[in-house]
Structure 1
Amino acid sequence: MIPKWMSVIVMLVTFVNGARNDDGIQPCAKIHTSSSVVPLGSPVIATCVIREDCPLVTGQAVHIEWRLDDRLIPSSPEASESSRVSRAVISSFNHTRAILTCCIQASPPQVVAGVEIRAGYPPEAPQNLTCQTNLTNPNTITCSWDPGQTETHLPTEYSLHTEIWADNENYSYKLPQGVHHYTIPRFEFVLLYDMKIYVKAVNELGETTSAPLVLEPVSSAKFDPPSIQVIPKKYGCLRLNWNLSPDQAWLQACRSLNLEYRFKSVDSTQWNDPVFVQNAKTPVDMCHLLHWTRYFAQIRVRYQQSPWSEWSSSQSGVTLESAPTGRLDSWMEISDDPLLKQLNISLFWKPSKGFRANGQNVSYIVLVQRREVCSTRENYCTFSISRSIKKVYLKAVNAAGTSSTVVHIYKHKAHPVVLDATAVPNGNNSFLVQWRSMDSSGLIDYVVKWRPLLKSGLSHIQFDIAGQNQSSIVITGSFEPYKPYGISVYPRFTDGIGPPKTFNAYLREKAPSMVPKLNIQKSWNSDIKITWEEIPLDQRNGKIQDYTVFYWNQKGPVNVVNVDTEKRSVILKDPSVHGAVLMVSTLGGSLNGSAVHFEFQPFDEVASAVIVIGSVFGLSLLIIVIVLTCSSKHKRFKGIFWPVVPDPANSFVLRLTSESTQYTHPSCDSEDPIYLSHLSFPDIPMKLSKEEDDLWINSAEETSDLGESICGSPFITEYSGSNSDSVPYATVVFSGFCNSPPPKEPHVYLRSESTQPLLEAEEPFTPKCYQNLALGGMTEEQHFFGPSHDCVPEEVADPESLWDDFPFLRALAMNDTEND
């Protein structure tokens, strides 16, 4: 954008340089220069002359100044202010465009004249002139050139010139500013005649011409892409029939054209290098191809040194079929069947680098001793053979013939060779498998086998073979990211197969899809054990690097424990753990599980169970010891721990009663005289009859095994009736046998101190206080229950009624009478 001051100066220059305006006023000054357009960097000399009649300087001294744009430049020493002439010299003009002005010194300075000076370079000769003929209707010639690398900074005009020598005709074509190409119409050239073509460039500093181009227009023609047809000709060859487009077909008959063809097999992604054919005729044979293989082909043409046409569209053809050639690479897995004494074999194969199917519908046959055991179109087969078989034959078959490969039966060897093996991703669909091995004699190659672990079946097993000197191989297949693949490296010897190195690999990894649930247990010593299950293989998304357990209590910080991938458990020594989280990591990322919060009582279930089991075991052992001890000292401990408690219903007296019909009065002369030492009285709710009294008398002699004492006798005031915890007893003590003389001292009947309960009476009673009854053979001082001083005797009408209340006393009285 031009500044305002420059616009003003330009207007002023226009005014001062004008010859005369409408009023006839002449400019006050005029500037003379050597040229208004100069080469960039050259010197510029200018002279300013002020007219004598200029009104701006009339009657006063004149002082002239020079300015180049807005910069003041010195005047030359020869300048004379009195003569009103000044001269300025610019040693090097480095502006492409600038305005030089002549000014009269005043306040402000007055511009009296000015001139615009432009600088640049003369044009360069146009370079790289090329012309191309278009043979499609209408025919034209298009020429283009390079104006040069140096900018002229000046307007430059280009023109194209042609000379047809045969017709002696010349044509010139001027081009717009900045345009460096032109298309010559058809009526101004002849296809089969030579013509001269050149370009001229002109600006204010000079002109130049390009090197001329002499050509026959047809030789610069770019042909249209030809049409092509591919047909099989003979074994290993395809024939290419081609033709130019209809508008250019006439040239195919009168001119020899050069041709290039290229091809690729149906399985290839790149074209082979083009094959050149000079002075090509139609058709062209393309040979040295594989049998029964589909190929795609393209061709392009040109005349002499003309540009190549575009490649034709791709057309395909299939070579003729022939028998397969080459051998198959094979791999087998062997398992021994000891019951049937045979080998179970899974045989896999793939085409080697030198194998060619050479036909369609290729199938494979496995022969064992000329017996066909397998025929398939797959790349694997399973069969069983005898242990004595050393080799089998694998044949590839098509309609034209067969090829055979010998497969040796390799036995397993225990000699390890492969020390370590790994696999790293190598692009989007391959792995770089590397291994280390030790030197071993007889080693022929390595077999690298792989399969997807999430898929089953022999069809998914693949393998590749590496040479004995190799330590790595790139395996390629339809590998999927985040899926596990099992890879094994086997060393193969001349007489067997060594043990493999097997590992899992992932093409790409990411964080697992799930985190296992934590199982929490508390041990006997208050340690906390956390366990978890293994992540399913399809949800790992990579190789598990480690497990990380984060745990914390209610007040303390978060603690971290890294756990080995093989353990899947951790023991925490802190019994106050409040919560935990499990994090699972792969090389592709990590995933946290849900937080588990838990609390334990001081003794949890496991500790309680251990305590109970220990207590029961100890108590059982103690009982066993006591039982064994008691068994050895039965009588002593029986009296201590199990005192004899009489059962009146099964007493010896009752048994004697049942025998009273035979022995009513036992003889006192018996060899084993019976004497009554103890007599126990149950609470009998009813009175005894006369006959029952006799029974008790007869059985009194056999009561030595009855209970010994009584506590809480009904004759004691504390007795509370039938609801009491004790049952009344009485003990009768005799001092001699039945035939012994009466004792001098009266018999004493003692109350028992026993606390053992017996059968309670059905009816409660409160015994009365009786006087001592006189019995036969007893003195008045003898009392049945001893002297009574506190009781007031009741008047008894009938002494027999008293015996009804004390039937046992009746029996004693009667027995004592008989003894007397």
Structure 2
Amino acid sequence: MKWIRGQNGGKQGGLAASSVIIMIPTLVSVVVILVAFLNGVQNEDNIQPCAKVQTSSSVVPLGSPVTATCFIRDDCPLVIGQAVHIEWHLGNRFIPSSPVASESGSISKVVIPNFNHTRAFLTCCIQASLLQVVGGVEIRAGYPPEAPQNLSCQTNLTTPNTLTCSWSPGRQQTHLLTKYTLHTEIRESNENRTYELQTGADHYIIPRSDFVLFSEMKVYIKADNELGEATSVPVVLEPVSAAKFDPPKILKVETVPKMYGCLKLRWNLSQHQSWMSVYRLNLEVRLKPAESSQWSKPILGSPVKPTRPVDLCHLHHGTQYFAQIRVSYQQSPWSEWSSSQSGVTLESAPTGRLDSWMKVSGDHMHKQLHMFWKPSKQFRANGQNVSYIVSVQASPGEKGKVCSTMGNYCTFQLPSKAKKVYLRAVNAAGKSRPTEVQISQTKARWVISNITAIPRGDHSLLVQWQSNDTFCLTGYVVEWRPLLKSDLSLIQFEIADQNQSSLVISGSIEPYKPYGISVYPRFKDGIGPPKTVNAYSRQKAPSMAPKIRMKKTWRSHIELTWDEIPLGQRNGVIQSCRVFYWAKEGPINVVNVDPEERRVILKDLNTVSLYEAFIMVSTSGGSLNGSTIHFEVEPFDAVTIVMIVMVTGVGLSLFIIVMVMTCFSNHKTLKGRFWPVVPDPANSSIKRWTSESTEDTHPSWDNEEPNPIYLSHLSFLDLPIKLSKEEDDLWLNDAEDTSDLGESICGSPCIPGYSNSGSVPYATVIFSGPCISPPPKEPHFYLRSESTQPLLETEESFSPKCYQNIGTDEMQREQCFFGPCDDYVPEGEPDPVIHWDDFPFLQALVMNDTEND
């Protein structure tokens, strides 16, 4: 930044001039204002500046050239005794100049070829010890105004009456202050008025005192700025012809007697404009049937007075119409439409045919028919309360009637022999001609292979299908219904030609609502099965997201489930479900889930971390996030504990079962391990064992039992049968089990008929003392058998280790168990006869030779 101090250039007032400090170039506007007080010559009368700047114009068109000249006074103290060097600045920018030939060189000229600033300061400076401003001028640029466009005026006939004129000032900005004025001229009275308009205004309201309703007046707008002026195209009008009337009022819409299809309309102006009823006004009428949502094209009638009614004809019979009217006067704008009033034309019998189709359900004995119909393009109800009758007879009457309804469908049982039914429309004036409907049977012919539905706006769908075989086809039936409602009256259908493969359906189609669309093939002899698709005319994000919940947890795994979104809340086809979950300060994981499953298992979770999760459901129109849940995985849950207990219990049970089965399968071996296997002689006819002998067979395992008895026996069983080698081996192998025969078969070796040949001895050694007693001094005597059969095994832990033969006859008698002691035969006497019948147990052991050696 450069500061310059002015020098004293006059006899008086030099102090004031020299005390002003100028900052260049940021405060250029201040420089220009104070330049007259700087470097000037002051006398008693005035102060003259050192320089003077002249320009062609201070306001120029934007982009035009600008020429300026700077004149330096010869008595300016800045140039006295020095060479003069003049510079030009436009704002902050240096502008090269060309000096003008003069004696002192104190004149400089500059040319700006293209002035593209809307406002800028051009300054003249002298280069002395410092660069000092000696003169300057402000230059503004812009455009001349455009003529105002679209001038129009409208009269308001309500209280207070006014005339409002409006216009558009033009698209181009002038960058200069532009003034607008409104001018009116009344020709009859030669009254001219001018109205000053505010800056930026685009309309003006002329009071009622400044215009006459039925006198012509000229209105125009003038725009003016420093570069020029422009005037709009004038508008010549009669104020009353520019009046926009209030909406008129329909008094009544009535039926014309004996005139079918005609209505009479009576009307009037509003209360504030009723004084205009003596003039003829333009009138337009528009109508629409009660069941339609679109108005007809306006009907323009000849100018009429409000006191006269208007006849409307060529309408449908027995149809309710809504009517609206509007008015204008000459070239005035139309008023707004009036409120609606309705009227009904005279009724007549319905005409035309009905479009229908039928679906058959049930078996051949009880057929259920679902019949649907709608008016064709040629059908006219010609009445208000129209009902429909389905019968099996063509002639009208109550006989044969199967259905009567006010709706557009009917369900009934078909008589067994009926081949067709007849459909009629009925109103108060009569019945229509019958529409014959053939009863079509259901055929299992799958012809339609594919079907799609593409949106064609918010209220229509394009249905496309493909057929495998069209040879037997006679056409198609396209049926659609809203899935959120189950009322059969909402089912709609269209009949398509056999050559069609697409159809645009519309009417009652709403965005974000699901519709079920079915295409049925039609044959000469029946209806084929349909192909169905669900579609939306427009989709958006679902209205709700399912709430996920925890179903089951186990170590590092968790199962999340959620409920299905209600059909009315989906707003489209659910295309994807994604579950987002993350641990604290961990990455976000995403799992894509099939929308039909509604469950997901999150794996490899950290059992010590707290997790958060939410679900996002998406349609083609948007996505919605569900609420966030928090969960953590327990190391062992109840299910895991139950499984462990169950597995342990099952394993223990199996072990016990195996052990029990093993014990039962080897019970003989185990029995021999824990107690001796001894037959029960008490249940035989051999001899009752005594308690003493029983005690003998079970040696005490401890020393608590008093006075144990120790005996030694050797008994023999005669086996006269000679065994073969295999039987000998079998006998030898089973010798261990022969101990079951017991030790009391024979109490002594004195068995009649005993011999060394062919006998198998069974020996029991009974000793009179415990095995741990010292061995007797006398030697032991052992009885050895000459048979090849081995003796009984005595490896049991409780068998005695030592044996003692009892040699006295008395002891032998006491130990003989084959009979009473009286049967004892001394040595040398003949052997007594033994009756084997007395010994059934031994008799079972007798074996007879079947072959001779």
Please say whether Structure 1 and Structure 2 have the same fold, judged by a TM-score greater than 0.5. Answer: yes
Aligned-partner SS, 2:352: coil
> Which residue of structure 2 lines up, in the alignment, with residue 472 of structure 1?
502
Give the structure 2 partner of residue 729 of structure 1. 745
- CA spacing shift, 1:76–1:138, aligned 2, 3 Å: same
The whole-number CA distance in structure 2 between the counterparts of 1:447 and 1:47 is 92
Quote the residue 2:608 is aligned against. none
TM-score normalised over the length of structure 1 = 0.64
Conserved? CA contact 1:334–1:346, under 8 Å: yes
| Distance in 2, Cα, partners of 1:157 & 1:562 | 70
Q: Any conservation in 2 of the 1:292–1:358 contact (CA below 8 Å)?
A: yes
The aligned residue for residue 244 of structure 1 is 269
- Determine if contact 1:366/1:394 at 8 Å carries over to the other structure: yes
User: Among residues 300, 315, 319, which one is paired with 2:326 in the alignment?
Assistant: 300
Match of 1:525 in 2: none
CA-to-aligned-CA distance 1:597-638 (integer Å, 9 cap, x gap): 879899989x99xx99xx9xx99xx9xxxxxxxxxxxxxxxx
Q: CA deviation at 1:307?
A: 1.9
User: Contact (CA 8 Å) 1:237, 1:285: kept in 2 or not?
Assistant: yes
| Contact 2:545 2:565 survives alignment (8 Å) | no
Matched position secondary structure for 2:821: helix
How many aligned positions are there?
Answer: 665
Query: 2:325 is paired with a residue of what secondary structure?
Result: strand
Q: Deviations over 1:354-384 (max 9, x none)?
A: 4343333332222123412222334333333
- Which residue of the partner structure matches residue 683 of structure 1? 690
Separation of aligned partners in 1, 2:562 and 2:56: 98
Q: Does 1:277 align with 2:301?
A: yes
In the other structure, the counterpart of 1:133 is: 155
What's the offset of the Cα at 1:436?
0.9
Contact preservation (8 Å) 2:37, 2:47 = no
Deviation (angstroms), 1:750: 10
Aligned equivalents of 1:126, 1:436: Cα separation in 2: 62
Out of 37, 40, 53, the residue aligned to residue 31 of structure 1 is 53
Partners of 2:616 and 2:115 lie apart in 1 by: 77
- Distance verdict in 2 for CA 1:151–1:479, change over 3 Å: closer
Are 1:259 and 2:266 matched, yes or no? no
Inter-partner Cα distance in structure 1 for 2:132 and 2:355? 102
Match of 2:246 in 1: 224
Greater mean alpha carbon deviation, residues 455-464 or residues 356-365 = 455-464
Q: Is the radius of gyration larger for structure 1 or structure 2?
A: 1
Deviations along 1:733-772, whole A, 9 cap, x unmatched?
99999xxxxx9x99xx9984489xxxxxxxxxxxxxxxxx
**Aligned 8 A contact 2:351 2:382 in 1:** yes
SS class of match (1:247): helix
Q: Once the 2 structures are TM-superposed, how far is the Cα of residue 394 of structure 1 from its aligned partner?
A: 1.8
Matching residue's letter, 1:492: R
Q: Deviations over 1:420-479 (max 9, x none)?
A: 334456666765433211453453321234567898786676544323222233456878
Q: Which residue of 1 aligns with 2:531?
A: 501
Which SS does the other structure have where 2:442 is aligned? coil
Unaligned runs of 5+ in 1: 520-532, 550-557, 569-582, 623-642, 652-678, 687-709, 738-742, 756-787
1:98 and 2:117 matched: no
Q: Which amino acid aligns with 2:690?
A: D
Aligned residue among 395, 409, 412 for 2:439:
409
SS, match of residue 32 in structure 2: helix
Evaluate the alpha carbon distance shift between residue 644 and residue 265 of structure 1 in structure 2; reply closer, same or farther with a 3 A threshold: same
Contact 1:63–1:81 (8 Å) recurs in 2: no
Q: Which amino acid aligns with 1:346?
A: H
After superposition, the Cα gap between the structure-2 partners of 1:468 and 1:62, relative to the gap in structure 1 and judged at 3 Å, is same
1:183-232 superposed Cα distances (whole Å, 9 cap, x missing partner): 32222222111122233333333334333322222222222222223513
Aligned to 1:374: 403
The alpha-carbon deviation at position 301 of structure 1 amounts to: 1.9
Give deviations 1:23-81, integer Å, cap 9, x for gaps. Answer: 53333333344443344444444444444444444455544444444444444443325
Residues 646-725 of structure 1: pairs in structure 2 closer than 5 A: 651=685, 682-683=689-690, 717=711
Deviations 1:323-378 (A, max 9, x none): 3333333232334655xx56443333333444343333332222123412222334
- Aligned mate of 2:222, from 196, 200, 204: 200
1:355 aligned residue (379, 387, 390): 379
8 Å CA contact 2:164, 2:206 repeated in 1: yes
Greater mean alpha carbon deviation, residues 492-501 or residues 17-26: 17-26
Distance 2:293 2:465 in 1: 31
- CA offset digits 1:638-686 (Å, max 9, x no partner): xxxxx997866663xxxxxxxxxxxxxxxxxxxxxxxxxxx75643899
Q: Deviations over 1:255-309 (max 9, x none)?
A: x322223233344333333333342444333444444444333222222222222
Alignment of 1:51-90 (within 5 A): 51-80=73-102, 82=104, 84-90=106-112
Distance in 1 between residues matched to 2:81 and 2:70, nearest whole Å: 19
1:93–1:546 distance in 2 versus 1, CA, 3 Å: closer
Paired position in structure 1 for 2:354? 328
When residues 178 and 495 of structure 1 are mapped into structure 2, their CA distance, relative to the original with a 3 A threshold, is: same
- Does residue 144 (structure 1) correspond to residue 166 (structure 2)? The answer is yes
Give the Cα separation in 1 of the matches to 2:820 and 2:616.
94
For the residue of structure 2 that corresponds to 1:222, the secondary structure is coil
Distance 1:475 1:409 in 2: 26
Would the aligned equivalents of 1:712 and 1:728 in 2 still touch at CA under 8 Å? no
Relative distance call for 1:398 and 1:156 in structure 2 (3 A) is: same
Alignment identity in percent?
A: 54
Alignment partners' CA distance in 2, 1:47 and 1:584: 77
Alignment check: 8 A CA contact 1:410 1:495 kept: yes
Name the CA distance, whole Å, in 2 between partners of 1:421 and 1:14. 91
What is the aligned counterpart of 1:364 among 388, 410, 428? 388
Q: CA deviation at 1:132?
A: 2.1
Matches of 2:458 and 2:336, distance apart in 1 = 34
Is 1:808 the counterpart of 2:820 in the alignment? yes
Aligned to 1:7: 29
Native 8 Å contact 2:183 2:192 kept in 1? yes
